[in-house]
Amino acid sequence: MHRGDVVEAVHRVHAVAVRDGEVIEQAGDPQLVAFMRSSSKPLQALPLARAREDMDARDLAIASASHLADSDQLAAVRALLEKAPATVDDLECGPEGQPPSPLNHNCSGKHAGMLALCRAHGWGTEGYRLADHPVQRAMLAVHAEAAELNERALPAGVDGCGVVTFAMTLERMAHAFARFEQLDGGTRVVAGMREYPGLIRGPRAADTRLMRALDGWIAKGGAEGLLCAAGHGIGVALKAEDGHSRALGPAAAAFFSRLGLDLDELSVLPLENSRKEHVGEIRI
């Protein structure tokens, strides 16, 4: 991070690209283990796509999203809840925003999708976020399937919204994303994300911007500086070692250039002060 001519902070980012089960490019440590956090959301939408043919592209996009609670995003969550059917009170992600409501939580779309999955299978919804509930067992199974790992090889923790999150190496994350469209339901989730990139996060987010810049790609960021992406049979995972997401756009631009892909519009992240004056930037 440059402020004027001085380097004020340094973020180190690890990255790996996988195609057909082989590493084709890497920077740093591809065996670094991290929790997938919200980068899991496209995977977590797969059981829903498999169980509910009535889920349209917008439903699957918002189920894969870490939204900012703008009007279009909240309308998509409400529509998914209605289709589930479920109510805001059924959401177990906790309240956010003003006034505080589970609907405003950035993970409410994912939780609405999990409630819709419960309805499809006739599962009770209470405690659907907990590890022993059939919903979270389904999430464990789909992560193991995508990454081609044994379920017992996936360390588990509790995510910020209360559901289970799984850890694996960056190489396995990239492998899972590289295979995503081959998985049952994958083409439907991908189609939703590509049609509605603005639902996935927002106009300044690295994942939304990457999808708008690269035709045929999907991307999903996660907490603690994670970004996963896939397109044309290639899967990519990037992880900021210090957990700060602000470095991911410039890092992705530099790493994707090694793959022959142009993400120059992400290569510099301008920084402003409270007066909206340009005071620095993040760049490689």
CATH code for position 131: 3.40.710
pTM of this structure: 0.96
258's CB contacts (< 8 A; 6+ apart) are 17, 25, 27
Residue whose entry in the numeric block shows the structure tokens 């957990």: 243
Long-range contact set of residues 180-185: C-beta below 8 Å, sequence gap at least 24 = 180/42, 180/43, 180/146, 180/218, 180/230, 180/235, 181/230, 183/46, 183/142, 183/145, 183/146, 184/46, 184/50, 185/45, 185/46, 185/47, 185/48, 185/49, 185/50
pLDDT at 231: 98
CB atoms within 10 A of CB 161: 23
83's CB contacts (< 8 A; 6+ apart) are 54, 55, 59, 116
How many structural domains compose the chain? 1
pLDDT at 120: 98
Structure tokens belonging to residue 205: 């987010």
Residue whose entry in the numeric block shows the structure tokens 């700060």: 244
Asked if 37 and 165 count as a contact pair (C-beta separation under 8 A), the reply is: yes
Query: What is the amino acid identity at position 187?
Result: T
Structure tokens belonging to residue 41: 């959301």
Question: Mean pLDDT for each consecutive 10-residue tract of the chain (284 residues)?
Answer: 92 98 98 98 98 98 98 98 98 96 98 98 98 98 98 97 98 98 98 98 96 98 98 98 96 98 94 93 92
d(CA 252, CA 206) in angstroms, rounded, equals 8
pLDDT at 4: 87
Pick the closest to residue 212 from 221, 224, 202 (CA basis). Answer: 202
Name the residue range of residue 189's domain.
2-283
pLDDT at 150: 98
